Each structure stands twice: as C-alpha cells, then as structure tokens.
Amino acid sequence: MQATVRYGIVGLGAWGRCYANAIQQSCLTGVPASDVTLTAIATGKEETVAAVQAEFPDAAVVADHRNLVTRDDVDVVAVVAPNHLHYAICTDALNAGKHLLVEKPFTLTVEDCEALIRLADAKKCHLMVGHQFRLSSLWGKIKELIDDGFLGRPKYALIELSRNPYRQGDDGWRYDQKRVGNWILEEPVHFLDLACWYFEKFAQPVSLYASANQSGCTSGTGQNAGSAAGSTIPELYDNLSAVINFSDGSHATVAQTLSAFEHHQTVKISGTCGALWAGWSGALDRTRHPDFFLKTFDGNQCHQRNNEVVTVPITKMTGELYELEDQIALMADVVRGKAEVHCTGKDGCRSVMLSNAAQESARTGNVIKLT
C-alpha cells in the first residue's frame, strides 16, 4: 500500500490556495496529514512562478501544467483552474497516467465529461469530482436520513442559497462567460448535485424548468461590485430558480441569489412520513466559524403526527474548508485502495447536464427534457 500520496495542484487562485492548505492539514480519520503531501504546483503564468515558489518552498513550481502532470513525484493532479481549462488539463493528466481530483464543474459540456470518463477507464486512473458538500456532516446527514427511510419517500425539496456576489477570480475569469461557461455551472451546480443525490435512491430527473434574471445594479465597489458586473453580462444571472421533476412525480427546487449578503444555505425536504430543515450561515462561504442546524419532524411516526420537532446534533464542524480537507484525504485513501470516490465522473457529468439545461431553460423559457 502506498504510504504517502503526492499531490500536484494546477491553478493557484484563492480556491487553489485552499487546496494547498487542505493538503497540508488533511484531517480525515485514519489519514494523518503526514500521509498526504504537496509536491508540485502549476500556476499558469511564468511571471508568478518565483513568488509562488517562495510561498511554497517545498513544492516544485512550474508555469505550464504539462510540466507538472509528467512528474514522477505526482500521484494525484488536483485541477483548480478556471472552468474552461478543465478538459485540456484533465486530458493531459490522464494521458500521463495520473489520478484526478477535478473541481466542479467537471467540464463545460457533457460531451467533454463523457470523453474524460472513457479516458480515465482506459488509463485505469481514479477520477473524482469535487462536490465536497457530499462529505459534509450536515448535508451528508440529510442523505443518511433519507436513505434510511426517515422521511418515507421524499416528495419535495427546496435547496436555497442567499449570498453576496461572487469574487471576480484571477483576471476576472468568473465574469467572463467564455471562461466560466455560465454561473449555474459555477455554484448552483453544487445544489443541483445535492438534489439528485438526495433523490437518487427513489427516482431520476426527467425534466427541468428554470427562471433567472439579473440584479439590475449599475454601480458597486469592493465586494458588491460583482453584482454590477453580473448585471451587464448576458446570461450571467444573479438570481436563479430551477425546478427538477423526477420520474416518480416528486420535484426539487434549487434557488440562488447573488444579490444578498453574507452566505446562507438552506435545505428543506418533505416526504411521505416526515420533513426536515437544515441551515448553514456564515459571514463568508469560507468561514471556519459558521452557525448551522438540522431539525426533523415526525420522521419515524408516519401517519401519527404529534407535532414533535427534534434538533439533530451535528457534532463535527461543517463548511467547505472542512469538507475540502476531508476530500483531499479521501482521495488519498482511494489511491491506496481503501475507499471509493464520493462523487464519480458520471455524477459530475449529470450535474453539468443539469446546469446547462437550467441555463437553456432560463434563456428560452422552455421546459428541458432530460431523458
């Protein structure tokens, strides 16, 4: 069994640095941080190599990702570059025989996702997509309750995010439609994934309808400037509501606004025998000191409602920084043959398909058939 799993990171923006820190602080039970190491970084820019090398003196720093994926001291390539670069980087990494941890969205198109899945199979490389919410002690507990039958059969879900505008990203890539793809791929892709993950034991998505608009803001500075930028770029929506219809008649609504403040995520699910409500709030999405809760109602007393509301204890801290650490450690265990990936290429491809369907529905006003 491989003792130390060696990571190479492609892309070192704000989230790439979170990856670097997570590799150094990996905390999944049974996987000490010393068993995971960062050996190489590709910055994408020759002019940043020296500064990044000073910041990470123990890693080899290069500009071109092709000089990273061919290194003998890299086992896993973590792709944290802007969305439009994912396909090319993943292709090069797989052709070099490297395992892949690729940030969401997997790629910009279903066709590219499917090509990478085939290539990973041909090269016998592990492929994991970074939907780290699946590892959350909070959002994961909901999945556990649903699969255990706590709600009976789920019939309705509301997954909602209210937050401040997006960061611009390096060179403003997140506000460039050619590079981001669309904003539904950028963050609502997480919540579309959660909806299908929660319902997948019972039904599959068959159609989707979405409505979206822009904030209309014409000025802004600092953190709120993102809303102004978003409001003037076609099809980069500030406000989104998408309804996924499932094969058994159930449905889930995914809603997001970038025209609000702080970072507040809510999940509400009702089933044939009960309901639950969970929430997570922080000043920013990457806070290490959030507030969160999970409440359930009548889950194990089908048809005998007594109005009992139970607060479910969540003892492990949750938030995307914590889940990222667990994701890094989990991938190391996957490489060692001790675990399975939490989000497969097929899962990531489905989320891309749903995101692009939502974009098309919002643009045309049509219901999009998914099967």
pLDDT above 90: residue 58: yes
With pLDDT > 70 as the criterion, what percentage of the chain qualifies?
A: 90
- In what helix (H) or strand (E) does residue 255 lie, and over which residues does it extend? strand 251-257
Report yes or no: 138 and 322 within 8 Å, Cβ to Cβ. no
pLDDT at 1: 59
Report yes or no: 311 and 294 within 8 Å, Cβ to Cβ. yes
pLDDT band at residue 169 under the 50/70/90 scheme: confident
* C-alpha distances out from residue 137 to 93, 142, 200, 211, 278, Å: 31, 9, 19, 31, 12
- CB neighbour class for 145 (10 Å; exposed up to 12, middle 13-18, buried from 19): buried
Domain borders along the chain are 5-133+323-341, 135-318+350-369
Instruction: Give the integer Cα–Cα distance in Å for 203 and 182.
Output: 27
Please provide the average confidence, as pLDDT, over all residues in the chain: 91
| Average pLDDT rounded to a whole number, residues 102-123 | 98
pLDDT at 220: 38
Q: What is the CATH number of domain 5-133+323-341?
A: 3.40.50.720
The CATH class for the domain spanning 135-318+350-369 reads: alpha beta
pLDDT digits (tens, 9 = 90+) for 139-168: 999 999 999 999 999 999 999 999 999 988
pLDDT digits (tens, 9 = 90+) for 293-332: 999 997 555 555 567 899 999 999 999 999 999 999 999 9
- pTM, entire model: 0.92
pLDDT at 222: 36
Evaluate the CA torsion angle 93, 64, 167, 180 in order and state its sign.
Answer: negative
| Average pLDDT rounded to a whole number, residues 194-209 | 98
pLDDT at 298: 78
| Average pLDDT rounded to a whole number, residues 180-195 | 96
**Residue 135 has what DSSP assignment?**
G
pLDDT at 259: 92
| Average pLDDT rounded to a whole number, residues 33-57 | 92
